[in-house]
Amino acid sequence: MINDLLKGNRRFVETVFERERPYFAELSKAQHPTVLWIGCSDSRVPVNTITQTRPGEIFVHRNVANIVAGADWNLSAVLEFSINHLNIPDIVICGHYGCGGILALDNTSEHDQYVPIWLNSAREAAHRVDGRLQAAGEPLSAVQRHRLIVEENVSLQMEHLLAYPFVARAVDAGKLAVHGWVYDMDTGGINVQTSRPRRPKNE
């Protein structure tokens, strides 16, 4: 597989890069992405492919289950750089149905040490969904429940994102909007879950 990656790079250089050399030359000088994408690390959710965007258009941070954790220095630095230096106006948190991280909330492994700790930041999503289902008294299939938890997790991570004071300030100042999306691998489509638009400064 490693050799295949290098062969693929050579094909990229000979075709795409050569054909769009002026674009890549400009891109090498500076980046001006307009969206920060916080998504899952799942290999089946390739950001540029499913959004049909070019290199340089999206600033990307990915992790298991598209989690926004308050103690994640990696994400904290990404957020700070995005807002303070790249002046990105939109953040998208994108989950996806069939997410292995969300499925792992119910299926812990004795061999995993770090995954369960990481997923603590998503467990509230499952608790909320199960609470609503219990109150409604309407049993759902495992697949339906999973889809609801995936969606709720996106909302939960948006809450975590706005708990960062400098993110909340940017939203309040009208400089930033936060969006929650879910990608459906069965259809290829993106479902818009919710959005917190930029708020004008005079509000």
Q: What structural domains does the chain harbor? A: 1-30 (no CATH), 31-196 (3.40.1050.10)
pLDDT tens, position by position, 85-95: 999 999 999 99
User: What average pLDDT does this structure show over 160-175?
Assistant: 96
pLDDT > 90? residue 199: no
Question: 180 with 154: CB under 8 angstroms?
Answer: yes
d(C-alpha 139, C-alpha 173), whole Å: 43
pLDDT of residue 203: 47
Helix axes 123-136, 142-162, angle to 10 degrees: 130
Percent of the chain past pLDDT 70, that is, above it, reads 98
Looking at residue 201, its pLDDT comes to 54
User: pLDDT tens, 108-167?
Assistant: 778 899 999 999 999 999 999 999 999 998 789 999 999 999 999 999 999 999 999 999
* Global confidence as pTM: 0.93
Please, are residues 133 and 145 in contact by the beta-carbon 8 Å criterion?
yes
Burial category of 159 from C-beta neighbours within 10 Å (exposed 0-12, middle 13-18, buried 19 and up):
exposed
What pLDDT score does 110 carry?
A: 82
CA angle 73-176-58, nearest 5°?
A: 70
Q: pLDDT-derived band of residue 194, with 50, 70 and 90 as boundaries?
A: confident
For residues 93 and 192, is the Cβ–Cβ distance under 8 A? no
Instruction: In whole angstroms, give the CA distance from residue 188 to residue 145.
Output: 20
Coil, helix or strand for 93?
Answer: strand
198 with 178: CB under 8 angstroms? no
Calculate what percentage of the chain has a pLDDT beyond 90.
89
Does 68 score more than 60 pLDDT?
A: yes
Which residues are part of the catalytic machinery? Answer: 40, 42, 44, 96, 99
For 106, counting Cβ atoms within 10 Å of its Cβ (0-12 exposed, 13-18 middle, 19+ buried), the class is: exposed
* pLDDT interval class at 37 (50, 70, 90): very high
What is the mean pLDDT of the segment spanning 185-194? 95
pLDDT greater than 90 at residue 25: yes
Buried/exposed 180-197: b ≥16 CB within 10 Å, e otherwise: bbbbeeeeeeebebeeee
